[in-house]
Amino acid sequence: MDKQRRAVVKGLAAASLTALTACGGSSTDTPVADLAPAPGIVGDDTASQPAVAFNHGVASGDPLADRVILWTRVTPTDELPRTVSSIPVRVTVALDRDMRDVVGQFSTSTGPERDFCIKLDAAGLQPDTWYYYQFAAGNQRSPVGRTRTFPGAGMAVERARFAVVSCSNYAYGLFSVYKAVSEQADLDFILHLGDYIYEYGPGEYGDFPGRDPLPAHEITSLADYRERHAQYKTDTNLQAVHQQFPMICIWDDHESANDSYRDGAENHTEATEGAWTQRRSDAIQAYFEWLPIREVTSDSGRIWRDFAFGNLMDLFMLDTRLEGRDQPVSSSADPERFSAERRLVSEDQMNWLLAGLTSSSARWRMIGQQVMFAELNVLRTLDVARTLGLDDSFGFNGQLLSLNMDQWDGYVADREVILRTLAAEAIDNTVIFTGDIHTSWANEVYADSGNLLENTLVSPLAAEFVTPSVTSPGFPEQVADLAALAVRTVNPHMKYVELKTPGFILVDVTTERTQAEFYYVRSIRERDLQGVIDPAMTKVVGVDSGSSRIYQDRALSEPRAIRTALFHPPVRPPVRTPPVRTAVS
């Protein structure tokens, strides 16, 4: 028995290893017991070598202790007969990047009903283990991807490292940030907090040469959303991120339409664009086809879910957009925002979150969600902005005001329920990760931020780190630094504010502290600078275990020495002492 064959048999003998959960794949999926040739295509009489391609890379996501979602898209080429309705696909999982030490093989299939995407929940894996995987159809094989399982709940874990990203607008510039993330030597996973795609037509939000959105109009139908997802997944920097790390993702508004909520969206007009319920369900369907996300229950459209990373952290991912959100109020002066009846998430989702936070025994409770949680006192910020000489000629006032009512500030009752629970149950070490607003923030979260000036003895209940965008624009260059100063002057719980530069957060978690390292790229417009980080801008913030007060400017964390990467990133000397920030930190 050769080594490969032995490995397969060994793997199949471990009873649970062979389990396979259909997840967008055929319900007749079964493990296969040998390294047979890749399968032919049903209905393709002529082709024993069916004409397919893997044009959109590979991806993995939602790692649990015994399983992970494996994703790819099989593209039928023109040579494939139109009668083909089902393409069989083989998936191989191995312990090495050369795919020799095989531990499992699965057969599945895909077809037009799921836009030829494959999403396989590869179960029966070992906890806390890195794996490699590859798809095969006809005579084609996909690139090899790398992924991992999480350590099981309660398993002793000392450390975790992950990157947080959001707001990747293809038309606005190059995915330089994704390249920088893909080259990180040591990350356990990627947290994508939404705006993975944008819905606009050409020239409506970004006009970078060669990156006009497809289809060439605002996307509103299932076919449109599918085509837009497919276009994004041709980007090699995005492909590299997916190939290298598992992703845990949630949508924000632009995966459907700008400022969406349960019953509509700012960028949706029923009279000309049809029923919102149809558009919403088309957007959700395409998202579940094209992202490596596990379906909690089939057809539920539910993305709120949780993950355990050993005894180190529990991670709660929220849907503050499409599931339970009431329509935003139009002004921060509208008292309706304080109504006890207003909801940002449904009662079911809130109950699940509160129960999870209360029962969690991990060292850290992480929440990944879309819109800024901390209170932002807009009206007082505008007053200070005026004294600094900022008027509305750059859209400054409008940006702040519209941010505010889309965020938890527009849904005060829901925020108070969470804060009251954290206080009443003495829940510590809660860290919130946020996207959506294309800017960087490190906030202490208090029960009443408005009284901080009067009472400095109150302790924060949580910390919040808001990630900058991959490409989408923040505040205008001319006003960004002064605006950040105005924000911090009247919001003393906001410890770090940067309003203009694309980047990502690298989060390094130990039992002692959670550190958020903000990295910024030099350019999203120059091809030669893709993936190049500007070390002078790097900012370190964090919280120590037992306190939600934010510290600043400690040394950067060092990557662990692991040797599993598919491709080796360039070695850059670590910057041991963060630069002293002068402008707005």
The total number of residues written for the chain in this structure? 585
User: Interacting stretch for Fe ion, rule CB under 5 A, among 193-201, 255-263, 320-328, 358-366?
Assistant: 193-201
Q: What is the nearest approach in angstroms of Fe ion to the Cβ of residue 78?
A: 36
Nearer to Fe ion (CB atom), residue 61 or residue 435: 435
Q: What is the nearest approach in angstroms of Fe ion to the Cβ of residue 198?
A: 7
Using CB under 5 A as the criterion, what x/- string covers residues 115-154 for binding Fe ion? Answer: ----------------------------------------
What DSSP character marks residue 70?
Answer: E
Nearer to Fe ion (CB atom), residue 110 or residue 467: 467
User: Interacting stretch for Fe ion, rule CB under 5 A, among 146-154, 395-403, 464-472, 502-510?
Assistant: 464-472
User: Interacting stretch for Fe ion, rule CB under 5 A, among 81-89, 91-99, 187-195, 533-541?
Assistant: 187-195
Nearer to Fe ion (CB atom), residue 120 or residue 371: 371
Question: Partners of 30 in the beta sheet?
Answer: 107
Nearer to Fe ion (CB atom), residue 90 or residue 229: 229
Site for Fe ion in 324-353 (CB under 5 A): none
Which tokens sit at 122?
């590869």
Burial zone of 437 (CB within 10 Å; 0-12 exposed, 13-18 middle, 19+ buried): buried
Nearer to Fe ion (CB atom), residue 237 or residue 469: 469
Query: DSSP characters for 321-361?
Result: SSSSPPPPPS-TT-GGGG-TT--SS-HHHHHHHHHHHHH--
Q: What is the nearest approach in angstroms of Fe ion to the Cβ of residue 42?
A: 41
Contacting residue, 29, 121, 183, 195, with Fe ion by CB under 5 A: 195
Nearer to Fe ion (CB atom), residue 332 or residue 434: 434
What's CA 228's distance to the chain center, in Å? 18
Q: What is the nearest approach in angstroms of Fe ion to the Cβ of residue 345?
A: 19
Residue showing tokens 């859209």? 395
Q: What is the nearest approach in angstroms of Fe ion to the Cβ of residue 252?
A: 6
Nearer to Fe ion (CB atom), residue 150 or residue 196: 196
Gap between the Cα atoms of 534 and 511, Å rounded: 29
Q: Is 257 in the site for Fe ion (CB under 5 A)?
A: no
Nearer to Fe ion (CB atom), residue 142 or residue 469: 469
Gap between the Cα atoms of 275 and 296, Å rounded: 26
Site for Fe ion in 165-184 (CB under 5 A): 167
Gap between the Cα atoms of 363 and 365, Å rounded: 7
Gap between the Cα atoms of 12 and 18, Å rounded: 5
Q: For residue 546, is it left (φ>0), alpha (ψ between -120 and 50) or beta? A: left
What residue type is 556 in one-letter code?
Answer: L
What residue type is 537 in one-letter code?
Answer: M
What DSSP character marks residue 409?
Answer: G
User: Interacting stretch for Fe ion, rule CB under 5 A, among 76-84, 230-238, 472-480, 528-536?
Assistant: 472-480
Give the DSSP H or E segment for 422. Answer: helix 412-424
User: Interacting stretch for Fe ion, rule CB under 5 A, among 67-75, 164-172, 348-356, 399-407?
Assistant: 164-172
Give how far Cα 215 sits from Cα of 67, 220, 223, 372, 574, Å: 35, 10, 9, 31, 42
Q: What is the nearest approach in angstroms of Fe ion to the Cβ of residue 471?
A: 9
Site for Fe ion in 423-442 (CB under 5 A): none
Angle at 435 between CA 72 and CA 247, to 5 degrees: 25
Q: What is the nearest approach in angstroms of Fe ion to the Cβ of residue 517?
A: 22
Q: What is the nearest approach in angstroms of Fe ion to the Cβ of residue 463?
A: 22
What DSSP character marks residue 16?
Answer: G
Q: What is the nearest approach in angstroms of Fe ion to the Cβ of residue 436?
A: 6
Q: What is the nearest approach in angstroms of Fe ion to the Cβ of residue 502?
A: 11
By CB under 5 A, how many residues form the interface with Fe ion?
Answer: 3
Contact footprint for Fe ion (CB under 5 A): 167, 195, 472
